[in-house]
Amino acid sequence: MIVDFDRIELEEVSRHFGRRRALSRVSFTLDAGQVLGLLGPNGAGKSTLLAIMATLLAPSSGTVRYGARVAAEAGPELRGRLGLLAHDLHLYPELTARENLRFFARLYGSPEPEADVDAALAQAGLAGRADEAVTGFSRGMRQRLALERALIHQPRLLLLDEPFTGLDDASMAALIERLKGLRELGRLVVLATHDLDVAERLVDRVVVLKDGRLVADEASPAELRQRYRAYVG
C-alpha cells in the first residue's frame, strides 16, 4: 500500500498518563508546503503531541488523520512517510556517520542506500568525516547528521523537537535554510521550539500550547514575542 498525504489533521486529540492530563482536545490542521511552529513552555505537551503525530504514542481520545487515513489504518507504511528529529539525536555514537545513515537507509528500504548515504553526507557537510565515529563529533555536526538521518527516506511529514539546541549561529542559519528548502519541496514540517526568534524567521503558522491545551493558532508569526507572553503568562 502506498501511503501519501498533503494534509495532517488533528481532531480533539487528548492524552492522559494515569490521572495526569498531558494533552486536552487539541485540534489543528497542517497543509503541504507549510512550516508549523509548536510553541509553549516546558511541560506544555509539545513532545507528547509530536510523539502522537509520529505514531509512537496513541492518543487517549481524538484522531490524527494523515490525508484520509488514521495511523491504525495505514500501518507501518505510514511510518515510512514520517521523519522525527528529537532532542536526543537518534544516532549510535559507536558507529560512523556513514554506518548510521546506511543502517537507517536500509531499515527504511531504500533501493539505493549507498547513493542516499552519499547524498545525505554531502548535504550535512560531513563527506570528509564520513568514516569517523559519531562520538567524536561536535553537537552541531551531530545535529546536521541527525537531520539528514531523519530525512534519508524523504518523509512527507518532518517532526522536529527543539532542533536548534546547542547550535552556533552558522549551524542555526544552515538549519533554517535547510528547512526552508523542505518547505519549497512541499513537505509538511512541525517545529517544536522555545526560540521565538527562530519561529519568527521560519514558520508559516504558530500553534501555542499551555498545560496541554491549545491556546492560540495563528497564521502570522510576526511580532510573536508580545502575543506569546500574553498567551502563556
Partner 1 sequence: MFLRVAWLVLRKDLTIEVRSREVLYTTAFFAVSCVLVFAFALVKEGQPLEDAAAGILWIAIAFAGTLALGRTFERERQTETLRALMMAPVSRPAIYVGKLLGVVTLLAVVEVVLVPLVALLFNLRLSSAPLLMLGLLAAGTVGFAAVGTLFAAMLVKARSRDVLLPVLLYPITIPVIIAGVRGTVALVDPAADVALAQMWLSILLFFDVVFVTLSLWTFEPLMTE
Residue 159 or 208: the one with the smaller Cβ distance to partner 1 is: 159
Q: Toward partner 1, which CB reaches closer, 97 or 206? A: 97
Shortest Cβ distance from residue 15 to partner 1 (Å)? Answer: 11
Nearer to partner 1, 22 or 54 (CB): 54
Dig out the grid coordinates for 135 from the structure.
562520538
Which residues have a Cβ under 8 Å from the Cβ of 18 and sit 6 or more positions away? none
Question: Are the C-beta atoms of residues 179 and 211 closer than 8 Å to each other?
Answer: no
Minimum separation from the CB atom of position 220 to partner 1 (A): 32
Q: Which is nearer to partner 1, 110 or 193 (CB)?
A: 110
CB of 233 to partner 1, least distance (A): 30
Contact 60, 212 (CB under 8 A): no
Binding site for partner 1 (CB under 8 A): 54-58, 76-80, 82, 84, 86, 88-95, 99, 103-104, 106-109, 133, 149, 153
Minimal distance in Å, beta carbon 210 to partner 1?
25
Q: Name the DSSP class of 149.
A: H
Contacting residues for 131 by C-beta, under 8 A, at least 6 apart: 96, 97, 98
Which phi and psi angles does 34 have, rounded to 5°? Answer: -115, 145
